[in-house]
Amino acid sequence: MNIAYVSLGSNIGNRLHYLQRAVQLLRESSRIEVEKVSSIYETDPVGYVDQSPFLNMVVELKTSLSPHELLKKCNEIEAELGRTREIHWGPRTVDLDILLYNEEIMKTESLLIPHPRMTERGFVLIPLVEINPVLTEPGSERTFVELANVQREGVHLWRTFRGIDAFVHFEG
């Protein structure tokens, strides 16, 4: 089995519901096991800033899917939950990005692993190191904890859950 880390974000409508539903859809795949979920963080938008704050989180997966198959699954979940791509880095119901896949470094036309901007984004790094504080950047000696410690601005703990079931079944 492969270990992958996927970030999730939402800033339209019932943000928590979109994150919960995305995790439920990942869990429903026979080739994916959701191992861990981070806390949820409310974060300021990055890039296109004229939009509402995001809820962000990271999940750790075990999967028999290849990186491209996992990307396809993430894109299918986004589409099922109404994601549209009208403004680059703009508002979205849900966004799923593959951050890491094992220790692999991959550069193809449709997929870059590790995610190319993850080391610049506290809303990715902080939940990532929460669920696995010993991760290091593939091809580097840098730990993600070191990188997260300087990326905390605009990232605020929103809610913590005691496990995956508590997260997907929470009604807040």
3-class secondary structure, 119: helix
Structural domain count, the chain: 1
165 belongs to the catalytic site: no
Mean of pLDDT over the chain: 90
Catalytic residue among 15, 21, 50, 95: 95
pLDDT of residue 89: 59
97 belongs to the catalytic site: yes
Residue 44's Cβ-count burial label (10 Å; 0-12, 13-18, 19+) is middle
Residues 6+ apart with CB under 8 A from 114: 99, 100, 105, 137, 138
Catalytic residue among 83, 85, 162, 165: 83
CATH number of the structural domain spanning residue 92: 3.30.70.560
Taking 70 as the threshold, does the pLDDT of residue 132 lie above it? yes
Polymer length of the chain: 172
Q: pTM for this structure? A: 0.92
Q: Give the structural domain span for 105.
A: 2-169
